[in-house]
Amino acid sequence: MRVLIFGAHPDDMEIGMGGTIAKHVDAGHDVIMVCATVPTRHEERMLEAQEGARILGARLEVLDLPPDDIGHNRRTIREFDRLFVSFDPHLVYTHWDQDSHQDHNAVSRAVITAGRRNRCSILMYEQTIPGGVVPGGFKAQSFVDISEQMDRKRESILVHRTQIELNGGDWWLEGVRGRAMYRGYQMNVRYAEAFEVVKEIEAHFGNQHRELASHQNGRTAGEGQPAANAIPER
């Protein structure tokens, strides 16, 4: 299975769903973490993002878009479209579309637009901690047991040293762990992560892409060559 995960900034994906990323990797899936922008302390945060992805076992793609260009706009969607075409994912994760941070919200909306050809499932992870209070409520509809991956999730967050004190140090980490415990309690396990479902495409049958639908991801039927800028599969 090919899994594509979007986050606006370094550390967003580790906080929101680091355990699930590690679990996909443990299952032998091909996983790419996509970071849209690095808004501050670029060199340090790039290294932190690389180390976080290494700990979880995923590949990392940093789009490095200018922060002011991130939005539900043509430039952002064009970059996301490129990844949808070249990687052809079965499953995509993104931010919650009502997250209080404008970049998180914009990335989520752009991902949903890039998935408009309906060739993959799309799930949204919970609002990044810390986050503001918003009018809507997250709908926890899909749960993943991350009890065996929780230590790696925590380790992948700890490498983002530029953010730890900024976000409250141990208090911040306890908030992340506490939410995982709460979601785990809901499904009778130690730790879990929850997701809101945008759509599930053949989820129960592995979402095996059909040749007749190959034109839907930007290629013509029968065309077997990947795009020139394709990300190679493992």
Tell me the pLDDT band of 118, cut-offs 50, 70 and 90.
confident
- At residue 122 the predicted structure's pLDDT band, cuts being 50, 70 and 90, is very high
% the chain with pLDDT above 70: 86
Q: Closest Cα to residue 82, out of 111, 105, 56?
A: 111
pLDDT > 90? residue 82? yes
Lowest mean pLDDT among 2-6, 62-66, 104-108, 161-165: 161-165
DSSP character at residue 26: H
Better pLDDT: 99 or 202: 99
pLDDT at 194: 98
Question: Could you identify the residue written with the tokens 């992340």?
Answer: 176
Q: What is the pLDDT of residue 234?
A: 44
Given this model, what pLDDT does residue 134 score?
Answer: 81
**Mean pLDDT over all residues of the chain?**
88
Average pLDDT over residues 135-145: 93
Strand order in the sheet with 30-35: 59-62, 30-35, 2-7, 91-94, 121-125, 192-199, 142-145
Q: What is the mean pLDDT of residues 130-137?
A: 81
CB 184 within 8 A of CB 190: yes
DSSP assignment of 157-220 equals: HHT-HHHHTTTTTHHHHHHHHHHHHHHHHHTTSS-EEEEEEEE-SSGGGT-PPPGGGGGGGTS-
pLDDT in tens, 148-195: 999 999 999 999 999 987 887 788 889 999 999 999 999 999 999 999
pLDDT the model gives residue 203: 60
Is domain 2-202 in CATH 3.40.50.10320, yes or no?
Answer: yes
Q: Where are the domains of the chain?
A: 2-202
Predicted confidence band of residue 231 (pLDDT cuts 50, 70, 90): low
Q: Does 119 have pLDDT greater than 50?
A: yes
Mean pLDDT of 210-227: 46
Q: Which residue has the higher pLDDT, 122 or 222?
A: 122
Is a pLDDT exceeding 80 seen at residue 103? yes
pLDDT tens, position by position, 11-45: 999 999 999 999 999 999 999 999 999 999 999 99
pLDDT, position 233: 47
pLDDT tens figures, 87-100: 999 999 999 999 88
